[in-house]
Amino acid sequence: MKKRTLLTIVILMGLSVSLSAQSGATEGNSASANLLVAMTLQEQSTLSFGSTLITDTSIEGKVILESTNATRVHSGGVEGSLATPTASNATYAVTGTALETYAVSLPASIEVVHGTDSNQKMTIDTMTARFNNASADAVTSTLSSTGTDSFSVGGTLTVAPGQLGGAYAGTFEVTVDYN
């Protein structure tokens, strides 16, 4: 019995020595953070399809406003007019963290409503964006080394057969966010 107790004491002493030898170990660890500046989006000009002349009230018409300039393409029962207001692309200025990529979200469609007859509506769809004079439409871009960028928006206006003449207006949301 004495041998067994002595053996147990020796084993326990050995464990306590080895445990105390490991208590001083350290490990080098690293930490990081990436802080992004909140993005801002400011409208510089509004989306306007300008004045369009209805030439045939029996067929649908389309007005395409490309994202790059205020040149319109008319088809169907409508054609361009030089009357005011003139066409303009919606343009936006973006700010945020330098050299970060981001995406723009445009609505699938917008409804514009006649100023005096709320039952008269037209749809704007097929919206496109062109970033900072890029060579093609896109939905993503990269902020400059100063944290700025810009883009313009175009779309397609559909004029229904028998559409009531007059001014139409509506609103839409554009969103930008980091990728």
pLDDT tens per residue, range 20-64: 455 778 888 999 999 999 999 999 999 999 999 999 999 999 999
The band of 11, judged by pLDDT with boundaries at 50, 70 and 90, is very low
Answer whether residue 2 is part of any domain.
Answer: no
| pLDDT reported for residue 22 | 59
Kindly report the average pLDDT of the chain as a whole number. 89
| pLDDT reported for residue 111 | 98
Write the DSSP string, the chain. Answer: -HHHHHHHHHHHHHHHHHHHHHTT----------PPPPPEEEEEE--B---EEE--TTS-EEEEE-SSSS-EEEEESEEE--SSSPPB-EEEEEE-STT-EEEEE--SEEEEEESS-TT-EEEEEEEEEEETT-SS--SEEE--TTSEEEEEEEEEEEE-TTPPPS-EE-----EEEE-
Answer whether residue 49 is part of any domain.
Answer: yes
| Residue-range definition of the domain harbouring residue 48 | 40-178
Answer whether residue 13 is part of any domain.
Answer: no
The CATH number of whichever domain residue 49 belongs to comes to: 2.60.40
Work out the average pLDDT over 87-112: 97
Work out the average pLDDT over 123-133: 95
Answer whether residue 30 is part of any domain.
Answer: no
Answer whether residue 116 is part of any domain.
Answer: yes
How many folded domains does the chain comprise?
A: 1
Answer whether residue 18 is part of any domain.
Answer: no
Answer whether residue 70 is part of any domain.
Answer: yes
